[in-house]
Amino acid sequence: MEEIRKKHFRSFAINFLLLAALYAIFLASFKSGILNNYYQGLICYMLINIMLTVSLNLTTGFLGQLPLGHAGFMAVGAYASGIFTKTVLLPPAVSLALALAISSLMAFACGIAIGVPALRLKGDYLAIITLGFGEIIRNVILNLKITGGTSYRGIPQHAGFTSIFWITAACVYIISALISSRHGRAILSIREDEIAAEACGINTTFYKLFAFSLSAAAAGAAGALYASYQTVLTPASFTYNQSIEMTIMVVLGGMGSITGSIASAAVLTLLPAFLSDLAKYRMLIYSILLIVIMIFKPAGLLGSREFSMRRLIAKLRRREAN
Amino acid sequence: MPFLSVKNLGVSFGGLKAVDGFSLEMGKDELLGLIGPNGAGKTTVFNLLTGVYAPSQGSVSFNGKIISKLRTSAINDAGIARTFQNIRLFKNLSVMDNVRIALHGSMRYSPLTGILRLREYWEQEEETDRRAVEILEVFGLSDAKDEKASSLPYGRQRKLEIARALGSSPKLLLLDEPAAGMNHSETSELMDTISFVRKKFSVAILLIEHDMQLVMGICERIVVMDYGTVIASGSPEEIKSSKVVIAAYLGE
Ligand SMILES: Nc1ncnc2c1ncn2[C@@H]1O[C@H](COP(=O)(O)OP(=O)(O)OP(=O)(O)O)[C@@H](O)[C@H]1O
Ligand SMILES: [Mg+2]
């Protein structure tokens, strides 16, 4: 049994080193000018999208529910953090840390408030209620004084590539570690069969709410990073189109695959930027992609498979030995 | 107070009284058979006992506690586990995970402890794995522990469902047609397994079954249902020769 722990620790260490290397490469290319500011912004945007997609996958892929209000939770986090960092002046790191805490807590609270009534309903109803929530939030933001109407400016830029990179990594770690714990299995059992899960002693109401609110909290944190990086917020960045786009990223990558979410969020953020002519047709391309994937690979690109560095190394070794 | 005491239980669907005035008492180490013609209401009794349906009348007390108002998961916590007539496994999860999920309640670590992989996480997960393997071994399933539940052949899926039910360490196990779809030799093997499980896990068993070889073979007492209520109860010999029972089965 000790061995299992060691194995886990080893794969954790490998992943961490890999991540650190990736971070160093990005940082070096920003510092040396190989990648200019535009690309740095794009990479940060991609990381935030990864955070959103992975956290949405918790409810869509792992819990098996279909909410369409992720952009709403992100908006709550973004504005909470924007207003906080602009009005309470603190050292940047402290300010960002507090902003993240406040945003995720507020999004978490909204998750509970929406989740309690919405999660009793199934399928389409949950989608409709969460969609409605997202639109309500956007309209509230548009009409409140404190949120500045059509645009909220002058947010101090506390988040940069470094903080966004590591917070995204932490968020991905938290969600994948949760999935392989007893709480994660409880969430998976609900997706598989709610009645059987209850019969096994899983309080499905609690775990649905838990997964949904946690996913909302992560969206809130992503919103905080977005606000602290962009410095300007407009309600137009949080429409239901955004929620649907995040859902598409989850579905394309594979419901229930964290690796898939990361890959599809990365590709779908970067691709339109590189093929800027295609940007106009983005939604069209998404739709076609979605239809093609649904026909040929209905479980998404990766299904529920995960990439594992340890497994890859083992495979390569075996190949070398042969 | 009896171990399980069901009084005047009833529920209706639309106008149909699926269970009506059903009463039953059961001892702490009994192996009791519940039989009756198709549509008699046997499965519905299980659904009422486990809180899948809320009874419209009557009460259930179990182990000194009224459980008829509790939710299904709380009834499982109280010590009742079950299988389903039409298998309900966690299909896309591994055989091991199916049992691990039933062991959820025996673990105590918090989400934060789990995420941070603190010592309690490892200790409790290792203990869970040990117990899960032990249960799977009883059913000869430990060799398939990493396989997807849906990839198992039908007979093994039925066994896995019983294994999973035992995961939550129940005091009472409800089996809904465990031998359905099994051939003669599989059924005999299942009978041995049920008797073994009963002793090893010291669990009372209430069993719905159409296979008379099995019911008559292992149950000490049998309760017969028709039209949602109990029409006879007694030893296998008494049931075999009961006029009411024969009439019910012949549909008179
Ligand atoms: N959820 C439900 N909604 C409507 N009617 C139901 C429901 N569940 C059961 N019934 C009806 O209640 C009656 C009893 O059904 P039940 O499944 O309990 O019978 P059973 O004794 O288990 O039969 P079988 O031996 O065929 O499994 C049937 O007439 C069935 O159609
Ligand atoms: Mg039945």
Task: Transcribe A188-228 into DSSP letters.
Answer: HHHHH-HHHHHHTT--HHHHHHHHHHHHHHHHHHHHHHHHH
Q: Give the integer Cα–Cα distance in Å for B212 and A153.
A: 78
Does B109 lie at the interface with A, CB-CB under 8 angstroms?
Answer: yes
* Substitution target from A200, A205, A207, A210 for chain B, most B beta carbons within 10 A: A200
Would you kindly state where each structural domain of chain A is located, as residue ranges? 1-35, 39-248
- Reported as a single tens digit per residue, the pLDDT across A133-186 is 999 999 999 999 888 888 899 999 998 999 999 999 999 999 999 999 999 999
Atom of ligand 1 nearest to the CA of B37: 25
* Contact status, residue B87 vs residue B76, Cβ threshold 8 Å: no
Region of A64 (left: φ > 0; alpha: ψ -120 to 50; beta: rest) is: left
Q: Whose CA is nearest to atom 2 of ligand 1?
A: B13
A305 three-class SS: coil
Q: Which two tokens stand for residue B217?
A: 């073979």
> From CA A179, how far away is CA A172, in angstroms rounded?
11
Kindly list the strands in the beta sheet with B57-62, ordered across the sheet, starting from the edge strand earlier in the chain.
Answer: B16-26, B4-13, B57-62, B65-66
Q: Locate the chain B residue with the closest alpha carbon to A191.
A: B90
Ligand 1 mean position to B54 CA, how many Å?
15
Neighbours of ion ligand 2 (CB under 5 A): B 43, 85
- Show the tokens assigned to B138: 């009883």
Listed as own residue / partner, the contacts of A303-309 with beta carbons closer than 8 Å and 24 or more positions apart are A303/A254, A303/A256, A303/A257, A303/A260, A304/A61, A304/A254, A304/A255, A304/A256, A304/A257, A304/B92, A305/A254, A305/A257, A305/A259, A305/A260, A306/A176, A306/A257, A306/A258, A306/A259, A307/A259, A308/A11, A309/A11, A309/A14, A309/A15, A309/A18
Residue B38 Cβ < 6 Å to ligand 1? yes
Q: Give kind and range of the element (H or E) at residue B57.
A: strand B57-62
Cβ–Cβ under 8 Å, residues B197 and B183: no
CA dihedral for A100, A101, A106, A111, sign (positive or negative):
positive
Q: Which residue in the set B51, B76, B104 is minimally distant from A185, CB to CB?
A: B104
Q: Check residue B81 and give its pLDDT.
A: 98
Mean pLDDT per 10-residue interval, chain B, length 252 residues: 93 93 94 95 97 96 95 97 97 97 97 96 96 96 96 94 97 96 90 94 96 91 95 93 84 64
Secondary structure (3-state) at B34: strand
Q: Which helix (H) or strand (E) holds B4?
A: strand B4-13
Q: Which residue has the tokens 């990736």?
A: A22
**Tokens 């639109």, located at residue:** A135
Any chain A CB within 8 A of the CB of B127? no
For residue B12, the ligand closest to its alpha carbon is 1
Question: Exposed/middle/buried for A119, CB within 10 Å: 0-12, 13-18, 19+?
Answer: buried
pLDDT at A301: 72
Using alpha carbons, list the distances in angstroms from residue A69 to A132, A250, A307.
8, 14, 28
Look at residues B80, B118, B123, B125 and name the one whose alpha carbon lies nearest to residue B100. B125
Question: Which chain A residues are closer than 8 Å to B105 by Cβ?
Answer: 201
Which of B11, B17, B42 gets mutated to test ligand 1 (max ligand atoms within 8 A of its CB)? Answer: B42
Ligand 1 pocket, B249 CB below 6 A?
Answer: no
Give pLDDT, residue A76: 97
Probe residue for ligand 1, chosen from B16, B83, B177, B249 as the CB with the greatest number of ligand atoms within 8 Å: B16
CA A129 vs CA A73, A110, A235, B126: distances in Å: 13, 13, 19, 41
**CA separation, residue B83 to residues B123, B158, B192, B230 (Å):** 29, 8, 18, 22
Supply the pLDDT for residue B190.
93
Q: How far is CA A155 from the centre of its chain?
A: 22
Buried b (16+ CB within 10 A) or exposed e, A218-240: bbbbbbbbbbbbbbebebebbbb
| Beta strands B31-35; B221-226: pairing state | parallel
Question: Which helix H or strand E contains B192, and what residues bound it?
Answer: helix B184-200
User: Token pair of B59, please?
Assistant: 């009460």
Query: How many angstroms separate the alpha carbon of residue B19 from the centre of ligand 1?
Result: 9
Q: Which helix (H) or strand (E) holds A253?
A: helix A240-253
* Residue A110, SS3 per DSSP: helix
What is the pLDDT at residue A289?
78
Q: How many A×B Cβ pairs under 8 Å? A: 105
Cβ-based contacts of A199 with chain B (< 8 Å): 50, 52, 72-73, 76, 81-82, 84, 88, 165
Q: Determine the Cα–Cα distance for residues B82 and A10; give it in Å rounded to an integer.
A: 40
**Residue in A183, A197, A304 closest to B111 by CB:** A183
User: Which B positions 154-183 lie with beta carbon below 8 A of chain A?
Assistant: 164-165, 167-168
Instruction: Name the residue of chain A whose CA is nearest to B77's CA.
Output: A201
Nearest Cα neighbor of A99 from A79, A125, A128, A116 is A79
Q: What is the pLDDT of residues A218-243, one digit of tens each?
A: 999 999 999 999 999 999 999 988 99
**Partners of residue A203 in chain B, C-beta under 8 Å:** 71, 73-74
State phi, psi for B221 to the nearest 5 degrees: -140, 145
* Interatomic CA distance for residues B189 and B147, integer angstroms: 23
Are B227 and B40 in contact by the 8 Å Cβ rule? The answer is yes
Stretches in chain A below the pLDDT threshold 50: none
Atom number of ligand 1 nearest to Cα B14: 4
Test A195 with B167 for CB contact under 8 angstroms: no
Q: Which atom of ligand 1 is nearest to the CA of B46?
A: 18
- Supply A140's token pair: 């509230």
Q: How far apart are the first and last CA of chain A?
A: 30
Closest CB to A198: pick one of B73, B107, B109: B73
Q: Which residue of A has its CA nearest to B118?
A: A5
Show the tokens assigned to A101: 């805490």
Q: Which of B84, B114, B126 sits opposite A183 (nearest CB)?
A: B114
C-alpha of residue B47 to centroid of ligand 2, in Å = 10
